[in-house]
Structure 1
Amino acid sequence: MNAIRMTSSVLAVAEALTGSDRPPIGPAYAVPGSERIRVVSAQGQPYDLMIAAPVGPPADAAAYPVLYLLDGNAVFGTAAEIVAMRSRKPESTGTVPAVVVAIGYPGDQPFDLERRAADYTPPVTATELPLRPDGSRWGKVGNADAFLGFLLDVVRPLVAGKFAVDPQRQALFGHSFGGLFALHALFTRPDAFSHIIAASPSIWWHRYVADDYAAAFAERVRTTGVDAKVLVTIGELEQRLTVAEASAAESATRAAWKRRNRMVDNARELSDWLAALPGRGPEVCFAMFAGEDHGSVVPAALSRAVGFALARRP
C-alpha cells in the first residue's frame, strides 16, 4: 500500500513538472572549443553551422583536414567528440586533428525533415519518385545543386577564413538522404571533396546508379580519372525487420517498404559498380555493421568515417 501511494505521488509530481513548470536544469552543454553561427544562403535560407576547432597542431603541412557533416543538429556532438578523443594522440590512434563543420538548421530538433528532403535530393520530376511510407507524395525536393553550391561557395570559404585548412583533405559525410547527397556531390563535382562517406544512402529514392549522372561520371573516370576516396556504409538490419519492428502493428507494411528500398543490396551494388569502373576510378571501401538498423547505425558510421577521412599519412 505504501509503495502504491509513493508511486502515485511520484507520478503526480512528474505530471506537475511538465512543460513550463519544469525546473531549470542549468546551462545547456556545448562541445568544448566549438561555436554555432547563422549563415544565410543566396536563396535566403538560414543554416546553422556548428564548428569544432582542432584539439592539437596540424599533422601535415601546417594545415588541417576538414570533415563536413550533414544533418548537423543530430550528429555534431557525437562526431566532434570522436574526432577530439581520437586526434589527441594521432601517433597511437592514427587519426589526425581536424576541423569539424556540421551544417544544420535553426532550432534544437535533430532533423528538419522538410528542409533536408529539399536540400539533399537531386533534381527530379515528381512522377519519377516513389511515394512516402504513408502513401503520400513528397513536398519540395530537388535542391541538391543549390545546396552543394552553398557548401562550396559560402561555407568552405568561411571555414578557410577561420582556420589554416588543407584544400586537398576535405571530407563530406551524409547519412540516409544525406548519403544520397554525398553521392550527388561525387557524381556531379567529383573534384570537390577528397573523401566521400555515403552512410546508408537512400538510393531507393531515385534510382541513382542507373540514372543520368552515372553515365557522365563513368565517362569522367574513363577519360580523366577521379581521385576521391569513397566509403559506403550500411547497417545489417536495414533491409529486414528488427525485433521491435517485427512485433509492431504495421510490421507487414514496414517489411514491404524495406524490401522495396533494398538498402543493403543497393549499397553493396553501388560499391561494386564504383570499384569496377574502367579507368582511374575512386578508391572504394564498403562496410556493413552487424546488428544495426537505419537509425542505430549512425554512431558506428561516424566512427568509421573519422578513421577513413582523417587517417594519419605514413
Structure 2
Amino acid sequence: MSTTPVPVHASTVAGVPVEAVQRYVLDDTEVRTVHARNLGRDYQVFVSLPPDYAAHPDRTYPVMFVTDANYAFPLIRSIARRLGDHGDGTEDFILVGLSYAVGDTPVYSRRRDYTPTNHGPSGLTSDMPGRPVLHGEAEGYRAFIKDDVFPLIAANYHADMSRRIYVGHSYGGLLGYEMLLHDPSMFSHYILGSPSLQFDHGVEFARMHEALAARKDLPANVLVVLGAFETPGKDKADRRYNRETDMIGDNRRFVAELQAKHYPGLHASVITVPGEDHLTVFPVIITRGIQWALPGKRPAFTATGG
C-alpha cells in the first residue's frame, strides 16, 4: 500500500530543522459529509474504491457498508486487498464506511444511532458534558442510510446497488437485525458480528415477533459470527468469558426463531470462532464475511454452525 504525501508542519530537534512530517493517506479513498435530513445531523461517509476501479469505467461493483467506520473501514480495506488477489480470492467491491455524527464522540453517536429503543443500560454516564445519554434512534439512522447514503453512492460511483452488503459489530450487529426485520431488502447480505441482543432486556425478540407476524418472506442472506468466549464459561478464572451475558445462546435462539418461519428467501447461519472474545473477534468476522458474501474464483468459505 502506498502513501499520498500530505505535509503537516516542520519541526526542530535540538534547534535543527527536520523535514516536514507527512500524514499517511489511504490511496483511492474519499471522505464525504452527508446531511441526514430526517435527523438534522451531518455524518462523515468514507469510500474506498477497488484497485482497478479507474481502469474499468464500464464495470460495476458490489458495495459493502460498514458501521463504526473509524475503526472498521481501514481494517476491512486492508483485509479485502489481502484476500482479493485480483479476484481469485474474493471479488472486488466498493467499501462505504458509516462514521459517526459530526461533533459527537463515537460512543455517544453509536449508542443513540444503533439501538432500537430509548431504554439503554442503567447507570451510564455521558462522555459529552451537558448532554444526556441517548439511545433508540436506529429507525431514523436506518432511514438516513437508505434515503441519503444510498443515493449518494448510486449517483457518484460505479456501484451495483442490487448487491449491497451490510457489516456491523456489537450494537452495529443489533442495528443489522433491525434492518433485516423491518426492511430486509435494504441489503442482499448481512454480516452481523456479536449482535447485542441483551440490549433493553432482549427487546429485539419482541420486536422480531411483531415485525414478522404477517410477513410471508424474509429475503436475505445472513451470517452471524461470534467469538467462542462470548458466553458464560465454566472456567470462572478465564476473564475472556462473558460474566453473565450469553451472547452465543441469544443469537442462536434468535436465528433459530427466524429459521422456524421457513421463509423461502432467508438463508441464515450462526458460527462461533474458537479463541476469540467480543473485542478480538472482529477481524475474523470480516475475513469470514468477505469470503462468504463475495467469493472469488477459488473455492469459497461456506458458513456452517459452530
Q: TM-score, normalised by structure 2?
A: 0.78
**1:26 to 1:312, Cα distance in 2 relative to 1, 3 A:** same
Equivalent residues of 2:41, 2:101 under 8 A apart: no
Residue 88 of structure 1, CA deviation: 3.7
Kindly report the root-mean-square deviation, in angstroms, between the aligned alpha carbons of the 2 structures: 3.2
Secondary structure, aligned partner of 2:117 = coil
Secondary structure, aligned partner of 1:150 = helix
- Counterpart for residue 147 of structure 1: 141
Q: Map residues 81-92 of structure 1 onto 2, 5 A cutoff.
A: 81-90=78-87, 92=88
Residue 170 of structure 1, CA deviation: 0.2
- Counterpart for residue 62 of structure 1: 59
Q: Paired residue for 1:50, among 40, 46, 51?
A: 46
Q: Which runs of 5+ in 1 are unaligned?
A: 1-22
Superposed CA deviations along residues 215-246 of structure 1, whole A, max 9, x for unmatched, are: 422531xx2x2221001010011224799x94
Q: Which amino acid is 1:280 matched to?
A: P
In 2, Cα distance between the equivalents of 1:25 and 1:305? 40
- Counterpart for residue 120 of structure 1: 114
Equivalent residues of 1:171, 1:194 under 8 A apart: yes
- Counterpart for residue 35 of structure 1: 30
In 2, Cα distance between the equivalents of 1:284 and 1:143? 26
Q: Does 1:268 align with 2:252?
A: yes
**1:191 to 1:30, Cα distance in 2 relative to 1, 3 A:** same
Equivalent residues of 2:229, 2:276 under 8 A apart: yes
Q: TM-score, normalised by structure 1?
A: 0.77
Residue 131 of structure 1, CA deviation: 2.8
In 2, Cα distance between the equivalents of 1:24 and 1:287? 50
Secondary structure, aligned partner of 1:191 = helix
Secondary structure, aligned partner of 2:277 = coil
Equivalent residues of 1:67, 1:309 under 8 A apart: no
Secondary structure, aligned partner of 2:214 = helix
In 2, Cα distance between the equivalents of 1:108 and 1:304? 33
Q: Which amino acid is 2:283 matched to?
A: P
Q: Which runs of 5+ in 2 are unaligned?
A: 1-17, 126-131, 300-306
- Counterpart for residue 5 of structure 2: none
Question: Sequence identity, in percent?
Answer: 27
Equivalent residues of 1:242, 1:293 under 8 A apart: no
Residue 160 of structure 1, CA deviation: 1.1
- Counterpart for residue 186 of structure 1: 180
Q: Which amino acid is 1:289 matched to?
A: V
Residue 163 of structure 1, CA deviation: 1.4
In 1, Cα distance between the equivalents of 2:230 and 2:92? 32
More strand by share: 2
Q: Does 1:293 align with 2:277?
A: yes
In 2, Cα distance between the equivalents of 1:246 and 1:133? 27
In 2, Cα distance between the equivalents of 1:29 and 1:241? 42
